[in-house]
Amino acid sequence: MSALLELQGVKAWYGAVQALRAIDLVVEEGGVTTLIGANGAGKTTTLRAIYNVLVRREGSISFNGRSILGMSANDIVRLGIGHVPDGRGTFSRLSVEQNLQLGGHVLRSRKAVQEGMRRIYGLFPILQERRLQQAGTLSGGEQQMLAIGRALMPRPKLILLDEPSFGLAPLIVTGIFDTLRQIRHQEGVSVLLVEQNVNLALALADQACLIESGRVVKNCSAETMRNDDTVKHVYLGI
């Protein structure tokens, strides 16, 4: 397997405040890497740094062997990186269908958009039922599906997922993670997953990164991470 996304020595700033100090991580082609760490460690910021939104950054970020450091968010989408932001970021005053249409904004033809929507409805049948409903009125789980569906619209090679389980009931979370597995195999998407529920995350991932105060402190396989004593103690509560 080869590296699809690779970050080396990435630093990032909000205005004058430095939030990332040294981030190195790799997402393999077809693999799942999870990013774990305490609140405020810089997980969301890492995703923002990859996407070049809200932060100023330095270091090296490459996708498919090509540096994407100078690219703007809308170019990055076109390269094939999808983003499911924290808080889901659906367009709450637009309908489910319009949200998905927007997900297909970078697709060239109307036909491709239609086809993409059919694909997403296949993955999440509930969204088809709620097609004309305003996104803001969906349940939390449905909104998360919508956010994932929206990111999958242009058939990305990689998606960045920021806390997909946030605020959801355990049953729904399990459902979402099942779908993620399905997506991974069906669509061949690689995933960079940020998740508070470390148990679930490590079960899904092959690789894991632990960050503390903007620094990657441990970078290993998910298996090794699961067996690490401090990780067990602090993040898994065992």
Partner 1 sequence: MESFLLQIVSGLAIGGVYASLALALVMIYQTTDLVNFSQGELAMASTYLAWVLIGNGVPYWLSFVITLAISFAVGFFLERVLMRRFQKAPLHSVLIVMIGLMVFINGSIGVVFGYELKDFESPFRWLGGTVRGYMSSHEAGIALVTLTVMTLVFCFFRFTRVGLAMRAAAVNPLSASFVGVDVSVMLSLGWALAAMIGAVSGVLSAPIVYLDPNMMLNIIIYAFAGALLGGITSALGAVVGGLLIGVAENLAGAYLVGTDMKLVFILAVIICILLIKPNGLFGRNVVVRV
Ligand X SMILES: Nc1ncnc2c1ncn2[C@@H]1O[C@H](COP(=O)(O)OP(=O)(O)OP(=O)(O)O)[C@@H](O)[C@H]1O
Residue numbers of the site for partner 1 (CB under 8 A)? 51, 53-54, 72-74, 77-78, 82-83, 85, 89-94, 98, 101-103, 105-106, 150-151, 153-154
Extended strands (E) in the chain: 3-14, 17-28, 32-37, 56-63, 66-67, 81-84, 158-162, 190-194, 207-212, 215-221
CB 160 within 8 A of CB 50: yes
Cβ nearer to ligand X, comparing 127 with 208: 208
Beta bridge pairs of residue 67: 62
**Smaller CB distance to partner 1: residue 24 or 86?**
86
By beta carbon distance, the residue nearest Mg ion is 44
73 binds, among Mg ion, partner 1, ligand X, none (CB under 5 to 8 A by kind): partner 1
Among the listed residues 6, 10, 12, 44, the single contact to Mg ion using CB under 5 A: 44
Short-list 67, 49, 39, 51, CA closest to 13: 49
Cα Rg of the chain (Å, integer): 17
Shortest approach of Mg ion to residue 131 CB, angstroms? 30
d(CA 111, CA 117): 10
Q: How many angstroms separate the most distant Cα atoms in the chain?
A: 52
Residue closer to partner 1, measured from CB, 96 or 200: 96
Task: For the segment 74-133, give every residue that binds Mg ion (CB under 5 A).
Answer: 86
In the bound state with ligand X, the residue whose beta carbon lies nearer, of 44 and 90, is 44
CB 92 to partner 1: min, Å: 8
| Residue of 60, 65, 35 lying closest to 50 (CA atoms) | 60
Site string for Mg ion, 59-78 (x = CB under 5 A): --------------------
Six-digit token pair at 35? 């990013």
Nearer to partner 1, 38 or 94 (CB): 94
Near ligand X in 10-69, by CB under 6 A: 14, 17, 19, 37, 39-45, 54
Partnered with residue 13 across adjacent β-strands are 18, 56
Q: How far is CA 202 from the centre of its chain?
A: 15
Rounded Cα gap, residues 32 and 41, in angstroms: 20
Kind plus residue range of the DSSP H or E element containing 203: helix 198-204
Q: Which is nearer to partner 1, 53 or 217 (CB)?
A: 53
- Spatial neighbors of 230 by CB under 8 A, at least 6 apart, are none
Contacted by 93, from ligand X, Mg ion, partner 1, none: CB < 5 to 8 Å by type: partner 1
Residues that bind Mg ion (CB under 5 A): 44, 86
Residues that bind ligand X (CB under 6 A): 14, 17, 19, 37, 39-45, 54, 86
